[in-house]
Amino acid sequence: MGDTEIILHLIEKGVENEWVDFKQEYYLKEKRADLIKDICAFANGESIEDKYIIFGVSNQGCEICGFSRDLEDVSVINQLLEENVEPFINISIGMFNYKGKNIGYIKIHDNNNRPLVLCQDLVQVKMIK
């Protein structure tokens, strides 16, 4: 099963847990620290499953609402993670259209390098263009 099918199945189940989180919109630049913290928290989870942060889904009712912003390039997110988290977290991102609505995701791959730690105070996270 590919990522698109897995994500649609997770949305259909409609349950947030230690390996899936629904967000209506992608992180704003002002929320870089939240992005890093969320990825790090999922990577530190005990589950050996890949984890997903899914965008374009309402938290209430798990309805597909779509989202309006483009996802950043994976290299931008990787740079943020390399600068702020040790050891490296393996992620991938994707976006697809379902019934005319954009759905995006960050996939946090199973990580055997737990625990991951934040290298610095995330209040100081740089804004990357």
Question: What average pLDDT score do residues 61-69 get?
Answer: 86
Domains and CATH numbers, the chain: 3-124 (3.30.950.30)
Q: What is the pLDDT of residue 125?
A: 46
User: Which neighbouring-strand residues pair with 107?
Assistant: 52, 92
- Can you list the alpha helix ranges (DSSP code H) found in the chain? 3-13, 32-43, 74-84
Mean pLDDT of all residues in 78-103: 91
Banded model confidence at residue 129, pLDDT cuts 50, 70, 90: very low
What is the average per-residue pLDDT within 79-90?
86
Q: Give the SS3 label for residue 83.
A: helix
DSSP for 76-119, written as a single string: HHHHHHHHHEES---EEEEEEEETTEEEEEEEE---SSPPPEE-
| Mean pLDDT, rounded, of the chain | 84
Q: Work out the pLDDT band at 59, boundaries 50, 70, 90.
A: confident
The reported pLDDT for the residue numbered 117 is 64
Q: Which residues make beta-bridge pairs with 95?
A: 104
